[in-house]
Amino acid sequence: MLNIIICGAPGSGKGTQSEFIVEKYELKHLSTGDLLRNEIKGKTELGVIAEGYISQGQLVPDKMIIDIIIKNIDEQPETCKGFILDGFPRTVGQAEALEEILNARNKKSTVLLDLNVPEEELISRLLKRGESSGRSDDNLETIKKRLDVYYSQTAPVAEYYKTLNKYAFVEGVGTIEEIFDRISSAIEANK
C-alpha cells in the first residue's frame, strides 16, 4: 500500500500533481482543501466554520481536519491501494495524529514529497488562479497571510518527516510533466 503525502506552500502545485499521481498509482485522492470547499459549497455547519478561517488565510482547527481524514480513510474499501494526502498534514499536530491513525489501522505513511517553489512564483501562480477560481483566499492580502502560516506552521511538518526518514525534496519549478517525472522518481525510490 502506498500512502503518499504531498506538501508544499500554497500554489506549489499539490493539487495539480496529485491528479497525475492518482492516475499512475491508482490511489485515493484526499485533498483537505477540496473536502473543505465541498462543505462550504454545501453550506454545512462545518463549511460555515471553515469558510471563516479560509477566507482569512488561516488554517482550520486540527480537530476538525483530523475528524474529516479519519472518516475518509475509514470509508475506503479493502481493495483501496493507498492514499495521496494532499494538503494534509499541515501542522506537526496533524502529522502526529496521521501517524497514529495509520498505525492503529496497520498502515504506514510511505514518503512526504516536499514541493519547493520560490515565493514570487507562488504569488504569481495564485494571482493568476484567482482571476478564474472564485476562491475567497486567492487575493494578494490573503495569499501573503497563507504564506506566513505555511512558513510558521507547515514547514515544520517536513522537518518531522525528515526525522522519520520519510522525506523527499522535489524541485517544483518547471513544466508540470518535468515535475511529475521528479515525483515519480521520488516515489519509486521510497516505496
DSSP 8-state secondary structure symbol assigned to residue 152: I
Q: What distance in Å separates the CA atoms of residue 157 and residue 35, rounded to the nearest whole number?
A: 21
Q: For ligand B4P, which stretch binds (CB under 6 A), given 41-49, 70-78, 82-90, 98-106? A: 82-90
Using alpha carbons, list the distances in angstroms from residue 169 to 45, 53, 64, 77, 174: 37, 29, 29, 31, 15
C-alpha cell at 116: 519547493
Between residues 55 and 190, which has the closer beta carbon with respect to ligand B4P? 55
Q: Could you tell me the smallest distance in angstroms from the CB atom of residue 17 to ligand B4P? A: 7
Q: Is 109 left (phi over 0), alpha (psi -120 to 50) or beta?
A: beta
- 171 burial level (CB within 10 Å; 0-12, 13-18, 19+): exposed
Least CB distance to ligand B4P at residue 191 (A)? 23
- Min dist. Cβ of residue 121 to ligand B4P (A): 8
Q: Which of 38, 42, 20 is nearest to 29 (CA)?
A: 20
What residues does 7 pair with on adjacent strands? 114
In the complex, least distance from residue 181 CB atom to ligand B4P, rounded to whole angstroms? 12
Size of site (CB under 6 A) for ligand B4P: 26
Binding mask 127-146 for ligand B4P (x = CB under 6 A): --x-------x--------x
- Which range touches ligand B4P (CB under 6 A), out of 41-49, 53-61, 71-79, 157-165? 53-61
Q: Is 176 in the site for ligand B4P (CB under 6 A)?
A: yes
Rounded to 5 degrees, φ, ψ at 161 are: -75, -25
Closest separation between CB of residue 78 and ligand B4P, Å? 26
Strands (E), 35-139: 82-86, 111-116
Of the candidate spans 39-47, 84-92, 103-111, 155-163, the one that interacts with ligand B4P by CB under 6 A turns out to be: 84-92
The residue (of 59 and 73) whose beta carbon lies closer to ligand B4P is 59
Instruction: Give the binding site for ligand B4P (CB under 6 A).
Output: 8, 10-16, 32-33, 36, 53-54, 59-60, 65, 87-88, 90, 94, 125, 129, 137, 146, 176, 179
